[in-house]
Structure 1
Amino acid sequence: MSGERTCPSCAGRMQSRALERHVGGLIELDLCFDCHAIWFDQYESGQLAPGAVIEIFRLIHENQDKPARPLADRLNCLHCREKLVFTNDMQRSNKISYYRCAQGHGRFTTFVQFLREKNFVRTLSAPEIQELKATVKQVRCSSCGAAVDLSRDAACAHCRSPVAILDAEAVKRALADLDAKSRGRMNPDAARAAEVMVPARIAQAEAKARRFEHRPVGGLPGVLMTTYNEDANILDLVAQGIDALFD
């Protein structure tokens, strides 16, 4: 990769991050923190090492306080400048969406859709929404930022995205996978030395998740969440979950 890249949506300068590739070496990703989005060259998302995924998670946390700029009506490929095609897809049981180059050069995806792709964020089921709306009146759409009135809607009335939440179990599985794969790349002596440290790190992550599961919002188990204040304006289920993880 060479030269400065501009965001397919706002045309601002994108920030490059060198992240670990799971087969060795580095991947240079381009991120727009104004639009809360990432450009992946072809196949790059699937080549990220677990540690790289966690690093992107951290970058999202550090930049989530700044509201995302709405995406432009036309998004252009970083390589050929052709219009990107809006695409719906499935990742395991999660519905995801992104903007892809018809020539196969890559795709542009928002932070929330990346978290959905990696199964950190999932859609709430109908019974979970029923439980949630007993105590929560409004939540913030994780895709566009609009308010969702749970007494009336189970999805965003503006962009039709379903109500989503950060899944504590998915986060813990990712952390455990990170430790396991990192040990697999060590030499035998280093791997033996890590056998004591790795379980401790996993236990620490699980303890942190359980700390928030003891006081869930709306009785939802397995969810990373801070205590809900009924006087709060709008609850952001994904953003508060990310904050809880990094506290």
Structure 2
Amino acid sequence: MKCPECKQPMLERAFEGRNGTRVTIDVCQECGGLWFDTHESLRLSPTGTLQLFRAVYGQRGSYHPRRSGTLSCPRGDEKLALVHDMAHGHRFQYSRCPQQHGHFITFFQFLREKGLARELNPKEQAELRKHVDTLLCSDCGEPVRLANMTTCARCRAPLSLLDPACVETTIRGAQQPGDSRRDVAPEVAARLLMANQGTKQFRPNASAHAQATAPVIILPSEQVSTKSETLDLIATGGELLVHALELLNLIF
């Protein structure tokens, strides 16, 4: 079937579901959009969530939908209705078929639904402004000036990053007891990757306890002049997550 967003063909991909089941999801390789039939998203296991992340992100670092306006159900002619929802303490949105055929969600909104991406807090925004002038909206690709904006003017998506704490929880949920390949803690692997790639990190709090627990925002190499660059924080964090999963030999 065709993607409701960009009208390109969607591919059926099978991922691990809960209780040993398999969940087949339609994935757009052009814009990264996802079509879930009824309750398919809820049936994904933590491993299935990471598999889907790898399948979508691994093909093309970041996806920015074309924002074609009104979307239609790929299984009929019904107009999809925009729905605002909340999960894991994060607001997200998707477009639902009124005939209950399913719903369409962008890759970015899917990450928010699963709690893997969260909004930057004010302290993080202030610290980030010291290093970067402009971010790319992780949902539509629109430039966002950090000096006076905290949401995208085009699609209203908030400035967000992959939350290391939530990613770690998801990875731990995907780990299987007794598998020696998975003895390395995922946060250790991520830190090794950051060091090996020469990346720079900052934390919003200065205390030793806060530095031990605060989320890490990943910036490019110190050799790069970030003030002149435009960054997509989700894409930047995604690169490290993909490498960490490969280093752990986890699920792939």
CA gap 1:58/1:219 in 2 versus in 1, 3 angstroms: same
TM-score for both structures, normalised by structure 2: 0.82
Q: Does 1:215 align with 2:200?
A: yes
Structure 1, residues 75-94: CA drift from partner, whole Å, max 9, x if none? 11122320100111111211
Alignment of 1:1-247 (within 5 A): 5-65=1-61, 67-179=63-175, 182-183=176-177, 194=178, 196-198=180-182, 200-201=183-184, 203=185, 205-211=186-192, 212=194, 215-217=200-202, 221-223=214-216, 225-228=218-221, 229-231=224-226, 232-247=228-243
Cα distance in 2, alignment partners of residues 8 and 118 from structure 1 = 21
Cα distance in 2, alignment partners of residues 122 and 13 from structure 1 = 30
Share of identical aligned residues, percent? 32
The equivalent of 2:210 in structure 1 is none
Q: CA deviation at 1:168?
A: 1.1
Q: CA deviation at 1:241?
A: 0.5
Q: Is the 8 A contact 2:15 2:44 kept in 1?
A: yes
What letter corresponds to residue 222 of structure 1 in structure 2?
Answer: P
Cα distance in 1, alignment partners of residues 63 and 143 from structure 2 = 14
CA gap 1:11/1:135 in 2 versus in 1, 3 angstroms: closer
What letter corresponds to residue 56 of structure 1 in structure 2?
Answer: L
Q: CA deviation at 1:158?
A: 2.0
What letter corresponds to residue 190 of structure 2 in structure 1?
Answer: A
Structure 1, residues 125-173: CA drift from partner, whole Å, max 9, x if none? 1221112112211111111101111112111122221110111111111
Q: Is the 8 A contact 2:136 2:143 kept in 1?
A: yes
What letter corresponds to residue 206 of structure 1 in structure 2?
Answer: E
CA gap 1:24/1:196 in 2 versus in 1, 3 angstroms: closer
Cα distance in 1, alignment partners of residues 31 and 180 from structure 2 = 41
Cα distance in 2, alignment partners of residues 127 and 66 from structure 1 = 26
Q: CA deviation at 1:236?
A: 1.2
Q: CA deviation at 1:104?
A: 1.6
Q: Is the 8 A contact 1:31 1:38 kept in 2?
A: yes
Give the unaligned 5+ runs of structure 2.
206-213, 244-252
- 3-state DSSP of counterpart to 1:63: coil
- 3-state DSSP of counterpart to 1:206: helix
Q: Is the 8 A contact 1:8 1:77 kept in 2?
A: yes
Give the unaligned 5+ runs of structure 1.
184-193
- 3-state DSSP of counterpart to 2:230: coil
What letter corresponds to residue 216 of structure 1 in structure 2?
Answer: Q
Cα distance in 1, alignment partners of residues 202 and 36 from structure 2 = 34
Root-mean-square deviation over aligned CA pairs = 2.2
- 3-state DSSP of counterpart to 1:122: strand
Q: CA deviation at 1:6?
A: 1.7
Cα distance in 1, alignment partners of residues 58 and 204 from structure 2 = 28
What letter corresponds to residue 157 of structure 1 in structure 2?
Answer: A
